[in-house]
Structure 1
Amino acid sequence: MLLKELESFIEEDIGYNDVSCSIVPDHRVQAEVVSNEDGIAAGISEAAQIFEYFDILATTDLTEGSAIKKDDTIFTLDGGARSILRAERLALNFLGRMSGIATLTRRYVDRANGVRIAGTRKTTPGFRKFEKKAVIAGGGDPHRFNLSDTVMIKDNHIAVLGLERAVSAARERASFTQKIEVEVEDMASAIHAAEMGADIIMFDNMAADEIEKTIKTLADRGIRDGIILEASGGISLENIGDYARTGIDVISLGALTHSSRWLDISLRIKQIQRTEK
């Protein structure tokens, strides 16, 4: 992360009158960051940067996306007691939040039978790049980062402009580097979008059997090839197998970020080297 971001996070967390850490003798201590449950590690580099900022020696054998088990050591730490206490919550917040996203993403990836799993823009304001990075650590695809990455024509765009005018306008104004994605809710709209030259068609809140029929129809009409087909909405760990078998290319889920549970991670001081006489 950028230094200005890190210092902003630190300023928010420490505040202006940190009594709890300042009353602690600044002995040199050794500590461990430990996982309290199985999962996928993410936020390793961010936590390491936080520890480094506070002059804490942090060592780890893990990388982004490493599988971890309950009671595994994520970091071993060596530094001043006050510094470790001040870095603790911020580092654990990054690790817990990002590892939770990576863990849930990996669960979806494991059930998707090779279909690409992607995130969405349903992210925490100001924390998007870290949440997208966590999706990648879990084996997923970050999808577009912002509105400028891809021209996505959604239901409200179509409500205002109509499908044909929206796609035509996008074709006129989009850079050659930008794909045009159209959100559809039924077979007729999918066929229309394909005929209009959409690069990506996203089936929104459509049942798996309806998507399968639509993909077959697109193939029968000779307009399936060259189009990326994406499914989103109403997809869960329980039914993702049904969607993966439809012939879809991508499954995108806001749940990867907005519904992931934090991984339970703790910091434990193990040894104190007292400097008092």
Structure 2
Amino acid sequence: MPNPYTLTDIELNALLTDDAPWGDATSWGLGISTLPGRMCFRARHAQVVCGSEEAARMGLLRGLDIDGEVMPSGTAVEPGTLLLTLSGRAADLHRVWKPAQTLMEYAGGIASATAELLAAARRGNPGVRVACTRKHLPGSKSLSVKAILCGGAAPHRLGISDTLLVFAEHRAFLGDLPPDQAVTRLKQAWPERQVVVEVASADEAALWMDAGADVIQLEKCSPDVVAQVVARAGTRHCQIAVAGGVNAGNAQAYAATGAQILVSSAPYQGAPRDVAVTVEAASG
């Protein structure tokens, strides 16, 4: 998927400052800080690119020039593909090098793992969608959400302020309030939002489906149970989502049940995809 947005200068400057709060000590000590040079970033392995715009912006923030085109985030590339070239002073190249490289490697790992999960799911059902939870590494939301979008997934929820998801932990406080009245209460309070209810069995799913929930989210249920709930939903305007342990190894089986949405945290554990960096002095 194409690049959805770029992290802010505040976020990128924080990464740069964290790595070099007082400049590049080695370049200063060697007396090479002002010498001109060039730095190229290439994909070491096949991957879905993510973070190239941020890496380029880091260069600009440190006074470097962008030479040529920047490979857009969301692009699937082969080993050796040139992603970005920056030129400028040696000290500035070294200040950008590692923050830009690691950002692209970690973001590319999430984006690539997302694309692999989506591909596995669509072998079971070409129309299924993948949504990723908010269980990313704390502090990494901006980059993690960009990465899953670039990999072809959607955010399951960006936080508890933007969606209505009724857990068993909410229902523990409802007392004797019937499910249909709970759903009605939510729809009256938030008339433009869907009501999602997470359940752990086919019987619970039927109860909340009959109560008018817009989405039933099945937590850690087997594909057989999911298939039963999908059949029960029939032609109702109620989507079935599968959550809890969904990964590239079982996504095809879950998608084949007819569930419309697979919810997963697995892409956030995707191994970083190596980005090779070469730095050389400018000729002439």
TM-score w.r.t. length of structure 1: 0.90
Q: Which residue of 2 aligns with 1:151?
A: 164
What pairs up with 1:15-26 in 2 under 5 angstroms? Answer: 15-16=21-22, 18-24=24-30, 25=32, 26=34
The one-letter amino acid of 1:263's match is R
Alignment of 1:45-56 (within 5 A): 45-56=53-64
Question: What amino acid sits opposite 1:75 in the alignment?
Answer: L
Matched with 1:205 is 220
Structure 2: 5+ residue runs without aligned partners? 1-6
In the TM superposition, what whole-angstrom CA distance separates every residue of 1:65-106 from its partner, at most 9, and x where no partner exists?
111111221112211111010011111122111111110011
Structure 2 counterpart SS, 1:270 = strand
Aligned alpha-carbon RMSD (Å): 1.9
Match of 1:191 among 206, 219, 222: 206
Query: Residues 137-160 of structure 1: CA distance to partner in whole angstroms, max 9, x if unpaired?
Result: 111112221111111111211233
Aligned counterpart in structure 2 of residue 72 of structure 1, from 60, 65, 81: 81
1:167 aligns to what?
183
Q: Tell whether 2:245 aligns with 1:237.
A: no
- Following superposition, the deviation at residue 10 of structure 1 comes to 2.0
Report the residue type matching 1:82 in the other structure.
A
The offset of 1:125, in angstroms, is 2.2
Matched, 1:218 2:233: yes
1:177 aligns with 2:192: yes
Corresponding residue SS for 2:154: coil
Structure 1 residues without counterparts, runs of 5 or longer: none
1:161 Cα deviation (Å)? 2.6
Separation in 1, partners of 2:52, 2:237 = 38
Residue 4 in structure 1 maps to residue 10 in structure 2:
yes
1:48 Cα deviation (Å)?
Answer: 1.4
Q: Does 1:84 align with 2:101?
A: no
Report the equivalent of 2:134: 121
Q: Name the structure 2 match of 1:272.
A: 282
Structure 1 residue 21, shift from structure 2 partner: 3.6
Residue 250 in structure 1 maps to residue 256 in structure 2:
no
Percent pairwise identity: 24
Conserved in 1, the CA contact under 8 Å of 2:37 and 2:279? yes
Separation in 1, partners of 2:118, 2:247:
12
Question: Which stretch of the first structure deviates more once superposed, 12-21 or 205-214?
Answer: 12-21
- TM-score normalized with structure 2 length: 0.88
Q: Closer, same or farther in 2 for the Cα pair 1:81/1:23, shift >3 Å? A: same
